[in-house]
Structure 1
């Protein structure tokens, strides 16, 4: 099902009890938006950062607690190096420009993914963002950067195997909870809903373990155009769905 934004700017919003605890967003469509607008792809990524800034504000305003955004995947290294460099520059700009404000708003930043292959100053900035906001608790912002879901699971499996080899765990103690405790997102609940913009209908290696029972909402809007009205529309779509987690519908009695 594809969610559509409401026609007016002030829709009737879902009751707080129906709000998801954790939302994941695949921010897709920056390059297509730029191409469609006759602009360089780098401008599309710049507008994407603006959309991210507004979405974080909207998520806090609407009473959400956890938001994870897919900002750079392990597969994005396949893009032209000039575009990869531009994406790194935007991360630098976002952290340097927004970190102080996010800290003052009691936002805690968590970074998911591997630091392997990243420039040293990018690693330092990611560390700084986590360190400066570590004591915050009002809102949790997860940034999936240099992240791939399968790579994350492989790293978790290696950590578990290492503990078994060192005698810290037994084979019988390895279950899905043990794996989950070694994922990057172990401090976050599994996402209740994942929103993808940009007209594609796939997860693209985003939170593949955690999304086992997530509601998937695909929106036709390109990411630079995404805003509070689209977030509201997605949350209303989520609130209207019945989540059964493998059980029976409530109508089944």
Structure 2
């Protein structure tokens, strides 16, 4: 039994070793064609961190693909549409807040979409960061790791159903506050990140990680689409 576990772990390490080799080669290759090293370093750094998290949590590409396949086409399209709706709601709120004189700038640590005149490979990398790597990385950290791990402990406890529900609600609140603060936005923009995080968290608890990632990615895609018009 122990030998089988060791064999499985070694197989896991080999898989991610190959993964990081591909990431390194991609970085070196794309570096020859990009005019914006910041975007390239950002996307490869995020991919590397995603790989670390997947290795720590022993998530394989096959397992992730199977989880997405279990959602089915209907739910997948539904969550993508939901992400666009969420993005539209957030956009409307930000425009309204700006008209009221509130500062609605994103945090200093956030990628400023309008600040890039991206073309060619730089545009592809920008889209990848905003719609793929950043949402996946954030959902792995805030939903899969923080929310998911603690929520499983709550469910495994001997507490009453009412107390479990109260603790779960408090957990969603805390994770959403942390998610919002991590984006270091202006006070008016804080509500957007908090509200979005609550939606992502509830979707994760009900439907799993793919649902949260799809919502997050689609919402970011909507913001990118509006910014590019």
Per the normalisation by structure 1, the TM-score is: 0.23
Greater strand share, structure number: 1
Per the normalisation by structure 2, the TM-score is: 0.24
